[in-house]
A and B are shown apart, each in its own frame.
Chain A
């Protein structure tokens, strides 16, 4: 099992550009989510999905879109990048169920918007 994979590891964008952060998992997990990590603010939930075709907003969804066409993939789209979106982005997945189910995190994508 590769676990949760994210690409790219690093990305630099100019303001207004668009891009897609990729996330994939091979554990057949129903639940997938995107977080952003900013200094002194911990991790904040952007969007999440409880299964293919089902997505919902988290705490900080503005400026981001998601879709979930397959169980394995959960891409995060930035339609028009802004400097405020400079952050480290983590994708996570877990089985749906009780609290014992671990959320597995990807290695992160470090995004800089100039």
Chain B
């Protein structure tokens, strides 16, 4: 079956870079996503990457995909206190049906001043 794993917690100082990691098991992944959840709110899509890409950059966000190792990472440059949130990776796979997303457990990012 499909499984998506993330570390639970990351703490960084304001201005540093943050790297949030995610591993997945389903090799039929087509798209991989990063969502942000602020306290008391729903999930907001940050960025996504197609499985035939290695890297995608979007302003302060850089997504790296290592398909051989089934490893996805999100780098946030110049992290700000407003980036404190829970970050979820999710995959869309052929095995689960094209419309379904499988989510990781979420990584809580704490940015201290």
Chain A residue contacts of B88, Cβ below 8 A: 42-43
The CA-CA distance from A112 to B42 in the complex, in Å, is: 18
The CA-CA distance from A40 to B5 in the complex, in Å, is: 11
Q: How many A-B residue pairs have CB under 8 A?
A: 52
The CA-CA distance from A42 to B44 in the complex, in Å, is: 14
Q: Is the Cβ of B100 less than 8 Å from the Cβ of A45?
A: yes
- How many A residues, CB 8 Å from partner? 25
Query: How far apart are B35's CB and chain A's nearest CB, in angstroms?
Result: 8
The CA-CA distance from A108 to B43 in the complex, in Å, is: 9
| Mask: chain A, 87-106; 1 = CB below 8 Å from B; 0 = not | 00010101010011011011
The CA-CA distance from A48 to B97 in the complex, in Å, is: 11
The CA-CA distance from A4 to B41 in the complex, in Å, is: 12
The CA-CA distance from A107 to B42 in the complex, in Å, is: 4
CB<8 Å pairs between A and B, sample of 8 = A4-B42, A31-B99, A42-B105, A43-B90, A44-B103, A94-B99, A105-B44, A107-B42
**Interface on A for B, CB 8 Å cutoff?**
4, 31, 33, 35, 40-45, 48, 50, 58, 90, 92, 94, 96, 99-100, 102-103, 105-108
Can you name 16 extra interface pairs (CB under 8 A) apart from A99-B48, A100-B48? A31-B99, A40-B105, A41-B105, A42-B4, A43-B90, A43-B103, A44-B103, A45-B100, A45-B101, A48-B100, A50-B99, A92-B43, A99-B31, A99-B92, A103-B43, A105-B44
